[in-house]
């Protein structure tokens, strides 16, 4: 049978029907199409055999993920179909219970319900709570129908969600011989859930995340102007929606990337959260790979309580480190700035003391005499002439060719690898800017940073000083777009570029940066908020003979 002729909904619908024949007999059929012959296909049988051996919530996770995979990468990423692993779902629901949420009495909503990753386990907890109170099967089904609702833009996922709820409540459905009408709506909750604003007790969501094109931003701007900034990420709007759906005292729980904790384009969202909610807890998921299929993102589990208008912001939140299996370690409380600045979030217990100490320092890169700028040359779009070596650049018209410095030019030992000779990786060494006075040419002493790093690397701030000889010889340089340049802007900076590069490479400064960076980009916004040791204290320790790492630690932490 040719898969190309079969839609993902038909393949999944047929597999779902076969699974239910084995494991959930007596349920009415799902709203998805079924092809009898397809149920006996070897691939379908193997998949059903696999899910039959799993816990129900694990099985529904793999079903939803399989549907997304069948849609193809482009469609899956456009709709951001990445589903919450059951271990993280259980962690969030347990956290809600700990915060006082009663599953037997409250109403719940998931505005991007996907494959019922939250709805199905909530329904099961509702049932268990009601059974404990002596409720009948009919009363349980009636309660779930009234108190649980979800939205999704994909029609097939809506049908999957409805059927997963039937499976979760299999005994009650069979006992009553009735098919419940669950409140699962096919549509865009960002625009279609207005009638629910301010009415719900609990909202849970693993929102879609991707950057929004200008046309899409315009569509939502009027409703979400309070959180839209520059080019927003779609998940920022969903976090705002989750809060707006809550009645005062209601709680939202969201699974998101960590970028909202620090990114400049999330400043308005952070301010909104501080003015509208009390952030109860933030769980930093420690396993970066494998949390979501096909996604390499750091992940945060955030709980927040909706407050009455004009409440006094609570500036601290509990922080934990959560593993993919849902186990967690409390690491302490963190202070959340209410000004839209990045939220420094500890990743380990030792980070709590570091953040407490660094909060006393007001020194920044500006205080050291440096300003930040992004490398101006975009290798795959820039049409200016480039050269493989100094020898070929010497023939440039007007003598306007200058060194082109790349992220790869920064050596692990903190030196800059640039000789003017052709590179083995074929990156170009020089670029003709058209004029020696071009504004993108950096002519002052500087430090070059790698702009894209990750928490998997030994250091996030990978830096090297640009040799003065290079600037003197060629009259300046240009950075490629994957570099950040720290340019000296005063005659006598607190540290010369070589020493500043050493400071940025110290464990103490690196740990602080990890606490204020929620993305792989080393952004100018985050660098501007990097807390550094008081320059006078640092120089004092250096003059006493301490190496840079020890001096930075003593000057910033005080130990």
Residue reference for tokens 């069979």? 174
Q: Is 134 exposed, middle or buried (0-12, 13-18, 19+ CB in 10 A)?
A: exposed
CB-CB contact of 263 with 231 (8 Å): no
Both tokens of 290, joined, read 């494998």
> Given a cut of 70, is residue 291 above it in pLDDT?
no
Whole-angstrom Cα distance, residue 446 to residue 478?
A: 11
Of 441, 449, 447, nearest to 406 by C-alpha is: 449
**pTM for the complete prediction?**
0.88
Mean pLDDT is lowest, of 36-45, 218-227, 330-339, 499-508, for 330-339
Q: Are 526 and 513 in contact (CB under 8 A)?
A: yes
Supply the mean pLDDT for the chain.
90
Read off the pLDDT of residues 191-203 as tens digits, 9 standing for 90 and up. 999 999 999 999 9
pLDDT digits (tens, 9 = 90+) for 301-331: 999 999 987 777 778 888 988 876 667 788 8
- The model's pLDDT over 380-422, given as tens digits with 9 standing for 90+, comes to 899 999 999 999 998 877 778 999 999 999 998 889 999 999 9
Helix (H, G, I), strand (E, B) or coil at 464: strand
Q: 25: helix, coil or strand?
A: coil
Q: Are 122 and 97 in contact (CB under 8 A)?
A: no
Distance CA 437, CA 448 (A): 20
How does DSSP classify residue 77? H
Q: What is the pLDDT of residues 59-72, one digit of tens each?
A: 999 998 888 888 87
**Pairing of the two strands 108-110 and 200-205:** parallel
In the chain, the domains with their CATH numbers are 366-556 (3.90.220)
Please answer whether residues 407 and 521 qualify as being in contact, where contact means their C-beta atoms are separated by less than 8 angstroms: no
Task: Tell me if 46 sits within 8 A of 19, measured CB to CB.
Answer: no
Question: What is d(CA 524, CA 263) in angstroms, rounded to the nearest whole number?
Answer: 10
User: Angle formed by the axes of helices 119-132 and 155-168, to 10°?
Assistant: 30
Report the pLDDT averaged over residues 248-267: 93
- What is the per-residue pLDDT for 79? 63
Burial class of residue 388 in the structure, from the number of CB atoms within 10 Å of its CB (0-12 exposed, 13-18 middle, 19+ buried): middle
Q: Where are the beta strands (DSSP E) in 111-156?
A: 148-152
């Amino acid at each position: 049978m040719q898969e190309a002729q079969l839609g993902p909904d038909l393949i999944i619908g047929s597999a779902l029907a076969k699974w239910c024949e084995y494991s959930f007999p007596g349920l009415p059929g799902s709203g998805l199409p079924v092809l009898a012959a397809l149920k006996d296909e070897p691939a379908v049988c193997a998949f059903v055999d696999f899910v039959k051996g799993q816990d129900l919530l694990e099985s529904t996770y793999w079903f939803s993920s399989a549907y997304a995979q069948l849609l193809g990468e482009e469609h899956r990423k456009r709709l951001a179909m990445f589903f919450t692993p059951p271990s993280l779902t259980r962690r969030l629901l347990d956290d809600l219970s700990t915060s006082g949420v009663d599953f037997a009495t409250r109403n719940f909503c998931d505005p991007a319900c996907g494959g019922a990753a939250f709805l199905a386990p909530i329904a099961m907890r509702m049932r268990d709570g009601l059974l404990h109170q002596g409720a009948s099967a009919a009363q349980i089904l009636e309660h779930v129908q009234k108190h649980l609702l979800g939205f999704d833009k994909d029609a097939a996922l809506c049908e999957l969600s409805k059927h997963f709820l039937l499976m979760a409540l299999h005994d009650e459905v069979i006992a009553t011989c009735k098919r419940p009408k669950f409140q699962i709506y096919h549509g865009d909750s960002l625009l279609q859930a207005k009638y629910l604003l301010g009415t719900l007790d609990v909202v849970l969501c693993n929102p879609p995340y991707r950057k929004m094109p200008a046309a899409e931003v315009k569509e939502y701007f009027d409703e979400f102007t309070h959180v839209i900034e520059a080019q927003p990420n779609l998940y920022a709007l969903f976090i705002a929606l989750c809060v707006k759906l809550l009645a005062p005292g209601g709680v939202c729980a969201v699974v998101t990337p960590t970028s909202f904790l620090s990114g400049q384009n999330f400043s308005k969202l952070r301010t909104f959260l501080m003015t509208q909610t009390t952030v109860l807890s933030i769980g930093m998921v420690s396993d970066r790979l494998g949390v979501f299929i096909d996604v390499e993102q750091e992940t945060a589990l955030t709980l927040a309580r909706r407050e009455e208008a004009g409440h006094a912001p609570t500036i601290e939140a509990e922080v934990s480190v959560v593993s993919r299996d849902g186990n967690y370690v409390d690491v302490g409380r963190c202070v959340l700035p209410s000004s839209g600045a990045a939220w420094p979030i500890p990743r380990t217990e030792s980070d709590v003391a570091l953040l407490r100490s660094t909060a006393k320092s007001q020194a920044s890169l500006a205080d050291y005499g440096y300003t930040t700028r992004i490398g101006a040359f975009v290798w795959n779009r820039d049409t200016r002439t480039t050269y493989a070596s100094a020898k070929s650049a010497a023939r440039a018209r007007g003598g306007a060719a200058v060194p082109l410095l790349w992220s790869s030019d920064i050596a692990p030992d903190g030196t800059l690898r640039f000789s003017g000779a052709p590179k083995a990786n074929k990156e170009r060494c020089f670029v003709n800017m058209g004029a020696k006075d071009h504004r993108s040419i950096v002519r002052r002493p500087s430090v070059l940073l790698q702009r894209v790093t990750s928490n998997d690397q030994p250091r996030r701030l990978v830096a090297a000083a640009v040799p003065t000889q290079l600037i003197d010889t060629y009259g300046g340089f240009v950075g490629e777009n994957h570099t950040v340049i720290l340019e000296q802007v005063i005659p006598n900076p607190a540290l010369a570029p070589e020493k500043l590069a050493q400071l940025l490479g110290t464990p103490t400064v690196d740990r602080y940066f990890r606490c204020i960076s929620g993305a792989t980009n080393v952004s100018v916004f985050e660098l501007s908020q990097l807390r550094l040791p008081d320059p006078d204290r640092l120089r004092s320790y250096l003059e006493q003979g301490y190496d840079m790492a020890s001096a930075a630690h003593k000057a910033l932490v005080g130990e």
